[in-house]
Amino acid sequence: MTHNNQATVHAPVHRDDVGSKMGMWLFLFTELLLFGGMFLIYAVYRFQFPDQFKVAAMELNVTVGALNTVILLTSSLTVALAIGAIQKKNKFLSIIFLAVTIVFALAFMINKFFEWSAKIEHGIYPGSEYLLGKSNGEILFYGLYYVMTGLHGLHVIIGVVILSVILVMIMKGSINHENYIKLENSGLYWHLVDLIWIFLFPLFYLLQ
């Protein structure tokens, strides 16, 4: 009885990088619609209560807001450098830049934690007796402030999780110079997080 040894032929794995990136852009568009709606609500109330919004903004720490802006802008640079490094087959440098991006993201959340804690300690939070004694415009300002910056903070946390998973994948080699679309998509998401903050910072902190 003759046995024919036939080599097993594996079909190349098909990757739809264009479709993946298009899907990511579609997701980012829905995120922009979400925050765009909130920005529209903010604009309406700010038009109705311009002076009261300015008074409420006086309670915010511009220095902390500016520091967080610098942190996020720098983190957008480092995630872009991580993508550039993996494209140039420099795995080590890509890992370093992505790790630095995650550190910046955590620094942003730490600053936000202390900022919120200070506000809450002074009784400035939705539903507080102190805030309910203020004008309608100030109450609306802080309602929007907590909702919009809180939702943005949630996106930062999600970003940290995503970037951490991508970091592990780079370390294991499943993301490399030939297959880095997941890193690119996570970078696009992180740029969106940065872009949203660039709008939030002047709207809330620079009214003074």
Domain membership of residue 54 (yes or no) is yes
Contacts of residue 116, Cβ cutoff 8 Å, sequence gap at least 6: 146
Residue 87, domain CATH: 1.20.120.80
Question: DSSP letter at 14?
Answer: P
Q: Is residue 78 part of a domain?
A: yes
Largest Cα span, the chain: 95
User: Residue 110: inside a domain, yes or no?
Assistant: yes
Give me the pLDDT at residue 14, please.
Answer: 54
Does residue 9 surpass a pLDDT of 50?
no
Task: Write down the pTM of the prediction.
Answer: 0.87
Q: 190: which 2 tokens?
A: 């992180």
Locate 13 and state its tokens: 């794995």
For residue 71, give its domain range: 24-205
Q: At 22, which amino acid appears?
A: M
16 falls within a domain: no
The answer to whether residue 113 sits within a structural domain is yes
Q: Measured between alpha carbons, how far is 165 from 177 in angstroms, rounded to an integer?
A: 17
CB burial of 91-109 (b: ≥16 within 10 Å; e: otherwise) equals beebbebbbbbbebbebbe
pLDDT for the residue 6: 46
pLDDT at site 20? 81
Per-residue confidence (pLDDT) for residue 23, from 0 to 100: 87
Number of domains in the chain: 1
pLDDT digits (tens, 9 = 90+) for 13-29: 456 677 788 888 898 89
